[in-house]
Chains A and B, each alone.
Chain A
Amino acid sequence: MGKDIREDIAWAQINKDVLKSLESPRRMYWVILFIAIAMIGVAVGSEIYQYTTGMGVSNKNNSHVWGLYIATFIFWIGMSHSGTLLSAILHLMHADWRKPIYRFAEAMTTFSLMTAGLFVLVHLGRLWQVYYVMPYPNERWVWPNFQSPLVWDMFAIATYLSSSVLFLYVGMIPDLAICRDNIHAGWRKKLYTVMSLGWEGTDRQWRNFRITYLTIACFLIPLAVSVHSIVASDFAMSNMPGWHVTSFPPYFVAGALYSGCAAIITLFIILRYVFRFEEYMTLPIMKKLVRLTFAIAMVWTYLNLIEFASVWYGHDQTAKDQLIFKATGPYAPFFWAMIFFGSILPLMLAFKRFQTHLPILFVVSILLNVGMWLERWMIIAPSFAHGHYPWTWDHDQWPSLVQWGIVFGSFGWFTLLFMVFCKVFPSVSMYEVKEMVYHRSLALKHKPAVKGEY
């Protein structure tokens, strides 16, 4: 396997290459931005129609109370997982290959969470009552039920979003100082000057920075795991058939990591091309990322089997019927598509020839996320369609175009936020890539010429 990065790359060149991405991306950047805005247009139109007409236009009904909105909400929460979690874990493990790619992965976390948050509002329908989500008492001093997983959700997601934003921002301060020093006028200069907080790279600043970054990384790992476990509790703590399974929290965490890793591969390929980051987002790094994704895919597959087995061999006949319904009923094509995209397709990633083939990886990574989105939909829709009581069964419900339009547009919203971020802020961490180059060149210098010299 080749080198993750060239050791002889000049530090000034690193600054130049990354700062160039803020000025002149390839034309494809604007094409992506235009498509994203068009997708948002579809979502905004659908939401306005739903808001003015009523929730009935979404085709949700008494049986199907959650639908695509909550499935997609979980998908986006899951997507947010890998960025910060992987960045924090790899930072603690001193895996320096994370350095050129962690910044955009963390940004992905932030914008995925912001997209997920929108679905709570969309699902709510009556937007003007959003303040009910906030934890404060009513006029009779009755507080929200703090024992409800839905309230935990609100706390967990707010904590994760604010901590992830701070983690992203703190890690960016030295780079913002580089931007401040190299951009000489305009709104960007003012923005970078304010946001860099007067950073000068003094030994005192670096010393405190190191401990702070490490400490936040330590907090973020259990936090990320807890957030998706809590989202899993929304399901596992209810008595809906197919949901009341002990393995749901780890299953959700694995699924979240999986979809996040697949999304990092997709964005890696896009950024590498659009911002000409071939020197930094290298194929050996991609190879490591692909292997990690493969490993997580296998964990997810195992947990899926555990979930099926615990339902199959359990005592809850309704849950077993529900599992059979999923695999053979009207949702069967989607169920088997989920199994194919989530468990069979990733087997390709085990082959060396595909691990660095970017066009194939681009398509596969998107399909993996299609599988992960289907997973969330397959958790929600069949359970509502075929619950405990036959008089609640509704096998024919299909989400309306309004629901599909809003889900479709959410991908545009995420893309827009992400691409604007990458154009305004350095998406490759300059100082950490310099550290990587420095330590690798030092290691090369001290490498024994003859084996066994130590």
Chain B
Amino acid sequence: MSKRHLLALFNDFDEAVAAIAELRGSNIKGFDMDDMILKSPIEHPEVEKVLGDKPVHVQWFTLIGACMGGLLAFFLVASAQANFFSQIKGGKPIVPLPPDFVLTYEMFILGGVFITILGFLICAGLPAKRSSLYSTKVSEDQIGILVKGDESALAAFKTIFIKHKALEIQEEAGK
């Protein structure tokens, strides 16, 4: 059965949260809660309770990036210094650890920052084409709930959204 999208816009954040809670509790046939997207002009960490547990993996990118950055820097610098055939060391350590720590530290941070950004783009699904069901009001002052479900579920969606004072409901055929 073909899936269809529906976007409801709300003025009141509490009403939007109540609508999400009701969508979750009503067990609508042909609708999966994972297919619901909340769009808002600001971050609402408190909505995560209603949306359910959705882990963030950006920190893993950070860890890998920082470790890689630090290790790469250390091995670059150490291998350059270890080229002792052309650089006379005069009895000093070939790879002096205290001064090498500075560059290792800087590249640890640089690697961490760069790969965190990469992780953010991957995890947040960016860059992306804007979905056709998008209202510019979402970046201004309204909260949008985008749902995807079977045609049979549309009526139930609309009932819930209207009950929770949706300002506008946009509809589009899904793929």
A, B in one complex:
yes
Which residues in A have some Cβ–Cβ distance to B below 8 Å?
10-12, 15, 137, 140-143, 146-147, 151-152, 155-156, 159, 162-163, 166-167, 170, 174, 177-178, 181-182, 197-212, 215-216, 219-220, 222-223, 226, 230, 431, 434-435, 438
Is the beta-carbon distance between B81 and A199 smaller than 8 angstroms? no
Using Cβ atoms and an 8 Å threshold, which residues of chain B touch A146? 77, 80-81, 99-100, 103
Is B72 on the interface with A (CB-CB < 8 A)? no
Partner of A209, one of B39, B44, B107, B120: B120
Is the beta-carbon distance between B109 and A170 smaller than 8 angstroms? no
Q: Which 7 A-B pairs have the closest CB atoms?
A: A11-B141, A181-B136, A143-B80, A198-B128, A212-B120, A197-B127, A208-B124
Using Cβ atoms and an 8 Å threshold, which residues of chain B touch A137? 80, 83
Is the beta-carbon distance between B126 and A197 smaller than 8 angstroms? yes
Closest CB in chain B relative to A318 CB, distance in Å:
26
**Known: A155-B103, A198-B129. Contact between A15 and B40, CB under 8 A?**
no
Closest CB in chain B relative to A403 CB, distance in Å:
30
Using Cβ atoms and an 8 Å threshold, which residues of chain A touch B51? 203
Listed A/B pairs (11) with beta-carbon separation below 8 Å: A142-B86, A147-B96, A163-B110, A166-B117, A199-B126, A202-B146, A203-B38, A206-B43, A212-B58, A219-B113, A223-B106
Closest CB in chain B relative to A88 CB, distance in Å:
12
Partner of B130, one of A198, A215, A223: A198
Is the beta-carbon distance between A205 and B124 smaller than 8 angstroms? yes
Residue of A140, A141, A156, A211 ringed by the most chain B CB atoms within 10 A:
A211
In the assembled complex, the Cα of A206 lies from the Cα of B136 at a distance in Å of 17
Using Cβ atoms and an 8 Å threshold, which residues of chain B touch A211? 56, 58-59, 120
Is B54 on the interface with A (CB-CB < 8 A)? yes
In the assembled complex, the Cα of A143 lies from the Cα of B86 at a distance in Å of 10
Chain B residues 89 to 132 lying within 8 A of chain A, measured CB to CB, are 96, 99-100, 102-103, 105-107, 109-110, 112-114, 116-117, 119-121, 123-131
Using Cβ atoms and an 8 Å threshold, which residues of chain A touch B59? 211, 215
Please name the residue on chain A nearest to B143 by beta carbon. Answer: A201
Residue of A15, A141, A204, A208 ringed by the most chain B CB atoms within 10 A:
A208
Additional 17 contacts, C-beta under 8 A, given A202-B146, A203-B37, A206-B44: A15-B139, A141-B86, A142-B83, A142-B86, A143-B81, A143-B87, A146-B99, A155-B103, A166-B114, A166-B117, A197-B121, A203-B39, A204-B54, A205-B126, A211-B120, A212-B119, A434-B41
Using Cβ atoms and an 8 Å threshold, which residues of chain B touch A174? 41, 139
Quick one: CB contact mask for B64-86 with A, threshold 8 Å, 1 for yes?
00000000000001001101001
Is the beta-carbon distance between B136 and A182 smaller than 8 angstroms? yes
Which residues in B have some Cβ–Cβ distance to A below 8 Å?
37-45, 47-48, 51, 54, 56, 58-59, 62, 77, 80-81, 83, 86-87, 96, 99-100, 102-103, 105-107, 109-110, 112-114, 116-117, 119-121, 123-131, 134, 136, 138-141, 146
Closest CB in chain A relative to B62 CB, distance in Å:
5
Is the beta-carbon distance between B120 and A202 smaller than 8 angstroms? no
Please name the residue on chain B nearest to A195 by beta carbon. Answer: B127
**Known: A11-B41, A197-B128, A203-B47. Contact between A212 and B100, CB under 8 A?**
no
Is the beta-carbon distance between B140 and A207 smaller than 8 angstroms? no
Using Cβ atoms and an 8 Å threshold, which residues of chain B touch A163? 109-110, 113
Is the beta-carbon distance between A11 and B126 smaller than 8 angstroms? no
Using Cβ atoms and an 8 Å threshold, which residues of chain A touch B77? 146
Closest CB in chain A relative to B92 CB, distance in Å:
9
Partner of A216, one of B116, B129, B141, B146: B116
Using Cβ atoms and an 8 Å threshold, which residues of chain B touch A205? 124-126
Using Cβ atoms and an 8 Å threshold, which residues of chain B touch A12? 140-141
In the assembled complex, the Cα of A215 lies from the Cα of B109 at a distance in Å of 11
Using Cβ atoms and an 8 Å threshold, which residues of chain B touch A226? 102, 105-106, 109
In the assembled complex, the Cα of A194 lies from the Cα of B14 at a distance in Å of 33
Using Cβ atoms and an 8 Å threshold, which residues of chain A touch B54? 203-204, 207
Closest CB in chain B relative to A84 CB, distance in Å:
12
Using Cβ atoms and an 8 Å threshold, which residues of chain B touch A152? 102-103, 106
Partner of B134, one of A200, A209, A219, A431: A200
In the assembled complex, the Cα of A197 lies from the Cα of B126 at a distance in Å of 6
Using Cβ atoms and an 8 Å threshold, which residues of chain A touch B102? 152, 155-156, 226, 230
Partner of A431, one of B41, B56, B81, B124: B41
Using Cβ atoms and an 8 Å threshold, which residues of chain B touch A210? 43, 45
In the assembled complex, the Cα of A15 lies from the Cα of B140 at a distance in Å of 7
Is the beta-carbon distance between A202 and B86 smaller than 8 angstroms? no
Is the beta-carbon distance between A215 and B116 smaller than 8 angstroms? yes
**Known: A205-B124, A438-B42. Contact between A143 and B105, CB under 8 A?**
no
Using Cβ atoms and an 8 Å threshold, which residues of chain A touch B136? 181-182
Is the beta-carbon distance between B99 and A10 smaller than 8 angstroms? no
Closest CB in chain A relative to B135 CB, distance in Å:
9
Using Cβ atoms and an 8 Å threshold, which residues of chain B touch A435? 42-43
In the assembled complex, the Cα of A94 lies from the Cα of B110 at a distance in Å of 25
Is the beta-carbon distance between A142 and B87 smaller than 8 angstroms? yes
In the assembled complex, the Cα of A178 lies from the Cα of B138 at a distance in Å of 9
Please name the residue on chain A nearest to B54 by beta carbon. Answer: A207
Is the beta-carbon distance between A170 and B120 smaller than 8 angstroms? yes
Closest CB in chain B relative to A432 CB, distance in Å:
8
Using Cβ atoms and an 8 Å threshold, which residues of chain A touch B139? 15, 174, 177-178, 181-182, 201
Closest CB in chain B relative to A192 CB, distance in Å:
11
Partner of A201, one of B40, B103, B109: B40
